[in-house]
Amino acid sequence: MDLLNELWKINELLTKALEQYKARGREYAKAYRDYRVLLAQELLKLKADGMPVTIAYDIARGTEEVAKAKEQETISESLYNSCQEAINTYKLQIKILQEQINKGVCKWRLVMKKNISVGDIIGDYVILEELERKNSQHRYKVMCNNCKEISTKYKHHLIRNTKCPHLRFDKKYGKLQIVEKTQKRYKGNVIYKCVCDCGKVCYKNTDELTQKYSLKSCGCDRQSNLENNTERLKESIKKYYKENTFLCSLTSRTSEHTTPVKGVYIEARTQKYCAHIHLKGKKYFLGRFNTLEAATKARKLAEDILFEPIIEKYKNELKGKH
């Protein structure tokens, strides 16, 4: 994800550089045209005055107006070339990042192409038997070297998770105590008979007992958790819901899916950057823009006008929140 985020940022910089490149190109063309026109006019004047052709060109370039036009043309050319160099640099960085991303993908593909045969040891597991494919995916019957548990694993699961959880009967998992191991399986995981602290018997598979955010109870604590969450929500509404809006929403930096800036998104139909802002249940559309920078400025200006007075008024509550 870090490489993809970096690639996204460089793409944004490349888009800005292309816009600047277009503008600098126009400025350079205009400055070059003005210089050539002034130089031609000055040469015609000198020739009409009888100035020799051999020195007329040098004298014409030395006049103040032509010299200023030449200076402007040289500056515009330098800015135009610098934009071109920046674009080439961004393109090179994008190419390097794409190669790194492709390298990681190819490495995973090579691992997946690796042949697994009966008797191989992968982490804690020993391959006992290759089973019939399911949904075109390889499946294996494996046994853990430590707890001697036999289960079914897909190839990609086996390569990613080489450690067996080693469930123990003398250890509690949340509110659950394992009583016995059943013969039933769920997606290759063993199903255990468990007893909850409330005395109710339930059945859980290996993932439900070992995963960090799984519910490790028979479900008896759902009501208590719901009541606690409801009370916390009521307290938050009472403290942070002011003037028909949540104060924390005014300072959060959560961005849209298509851009890294909050309140700015890319419109699918026009492929332009659209800016909007929400306050007190109303949505204000700020306009469509050709660049992310312009849309961001519009969003920031709207925040200063609409959000800042409320933030300043309730700054003590926001300090407590953060």
The pLDDT tens digits for 206-223 are: 878 877 767 788 877 776
Four-CA torsion 74, 76, 80, 86, nearest 10 degrees: 90
Q: Are residues 10 and 108 in the same domain?
A: yes
What is the residue range of 264's domain?
233-321
Least confident of 25-34, 61-70, 134-143, 252-261: 252-261
For residues 289 and 273, the answer to whether their CB atoms sit within 8 Å is yes
Give the neighbor-by-neighbor strand order of the sheet with 121-122: 121-122, 125-134, 137-144, 150-154
Across the range 267-287, mean pLDDT stands at 88
For residues 131 and 154, the answer to whether their CB atoms sit within 8 Å is no
Q: Are residues 316 and 214 in the same domain?
A: no
- Residue 129's pLDDT band, with cuts at 50, 70 and 90, is confident
- Residue 110's pLDDT band, with cuts at 50, 70 and 90, is low
For residues 299 and 261, the answer to whether their CB atoms sit within 8 Å is yes
**CA-closest candidate to residue 246, choices 160, 316, 310, 181:** 310
Q: Are residues 64 and 19 in the same domain?
A: yes
What pLDDT does residue 103 have?
A: 67
Across the range 125-154, mean pLDDT stands at 81
Across the range 54-60, mean pLDDT stands at 80
pLDDT over 60 (residue 29): yes
CA distances 24 to 31, 79, 83, 87, Å, are 10, 7, 8, 13
pLDDT over 60 (residue 320): no
Residue 104 lies in a domain: yes
The single residue listed with the structure tokens 């998992």 is: 173
Q: Are residues 92 and 122 in the same domain?
A: no
Structural domain count, the chain: 4
CA distance 3 to 97: 7
Q: Are residues 103 and 12 in the same domain?
A: yes
Residue 298 lies in a domain: yes
Q: Are residues 190 and 261 in the same domain?
A: no
Residue 17 lies in a domain: yes
What is the chain's mean pLDDT, rounded? 81
CA distance 228 to 49: 97
Total-model pTM:
0.36
Q: Are residues 314 and 253 in the same domain?
A: yes
Q: Are residues 212 and 140 in the same domain?
A: no
Q: Are residues 16 and 103 in the same domain?
A: yes
For residues 168 and 181, the answer to whether their CB atoms sit within 8 Å is no
Residue 224 lies in a domain: no
Q: Which two tokens stand for residue 30?
A: 């205009």
For residues 163 and 124, the answer to whether their CB atoms sit within 8 Å is yes
Give strand ranges (E) for the chain: 121-122, 125-134, 137-144, 150-154, 172-173, 176-186, 189-196, 201-205, 241-242, 245-246, 264-266, 273-279, 282-289
Q: Which two tokens stand for residue 206?
A: 């290996």
Q: Which helix (H) or strand (E) holds 60?
A: helix 53-62
Q: Which two tokens stand for residue 174?
A: 């949340």
Backbone angles phi, psi at 264, to 5 degrees: -130, 130
Residue 225 lies in a domain: no
Backbone angles phi, psi at 260, to 5 degrees: -85, 5
Q: Residue 121's CB: how many other CB atoms inside 10 A?
A: 11
Q: Are residues 21 and 109 in the same domain?
A: yes
Across the range 125-146, mean pLDDT stands at 82
CA distance 151 to 190: 7
Residue 36 lies in a domain: yes
Residue 48 lies in a domain: yes
Q: Are residues 98 and 118 in the same domain?
A: no
Residue 13 lies in a domain: yes
Q: Which two tokens stand for residue 188?
A: 């290759």
Q: Are residues 25 and 56 in the same domain?
A: yes
What is the CA 296 to chain-centroid distance, rounded?
Answer: 17
Q: Which two tokens stand for residue 108?
A: 């995973």
